[in-house]
Amino acid sequence: MIDAPVLNVAALTPGTRALGPGLRSVLWVQGCPFRCPGCIAENWIPDRPATTMTPAQAARALAVQPDLQGVTFSGGEPMEQAAGLTEVITSMRRDRDLDLICFTGYRLERLRDRPPNPGVPGLLAAVDVLIDGLYRDDRNDGRGLRGSTNQRVHHLTDRLTGTDYDFTGRARTIELQQAGDDLLMVGVPDPVLASAFRPAHRED
């Protein structure tokens, strides 16, 4: 019997409109191999224990909104925990039709040709929109859902191609949500907000 994957979760929110079209739930994983300079989520870069959840537990936590329209995976680096995230979205889609947006520092070509782990093909097959590439602080133009202009938006299915959501040019939206004792910033910040927010959340 194969053990189910366990997710190392940095944070999650069951309701936001800041990371994709419509009402969404978002899961950020802990751990990223890239360490992009200027990363707004630098506390989620180290590969260290955060909140451990099974995919079933994560799916239940993310699915509490009855009018949920989509899911977004970010981090951290989602492709490092691809198998577990695939189980999350598969479980959630058993009950409703949800789109999936996923951020990754890997390029799509690398994920297809040389996936970093065996779970990647399964997650790619579930993703509707993939935003790929390393974050570049000097190319953050403050527009769209991608963090910097070198990052690419790939519609891997046609699920979101017919919407009026502008992934590259829209004005950004930021939400501040209370997460226990912490303040969670949800969304992709513009350069000014990113620089203001980052020092207060820098690791010691």
Q: Is the pLDDT of residue 2 over 80?
A: no
Q: Tens of pLDDT along 97-124?
A: 999 999 999 999 999 999 999 999 999 9
Among residues 26, 20, 24, the alpha carbon closest in space to that of 163 is found at 20
Mean pLDDT score of the chain:
91
Looking at the DSSP bridge assignments, the partners of residue 8 are 52
Residue 188 binned pLDDT confidence (cut-offs 50, 70, 90): confident
The predicted structure's pLDDT at residue 160: 97
Q: Is the pLDDT of residue 203 over 60?
A: no
Tokens of 164: 């009026």
8 A C-beta contact, residue 128 and residue 156: yes
Mapped onto helix, strand or coil, the DSSP state of residue 196 is: helix
Q: Is the pLDDT of residue 182 over 90?
A: no
Q: Tens of pLDDT along 128-142?
A: 999 999 999 999 999
Answer with the residue of higher pLDDT: 181 or 72.
72
What is the DSSP secondary-structure string of 83-124? HHHHHHHHHHHTTS--EEEEEESS-HHHHHHS-SSTTHHHHH
Q: Which domains does the chain have, with CATH numbers?
A: 7-201 (3.20.20)
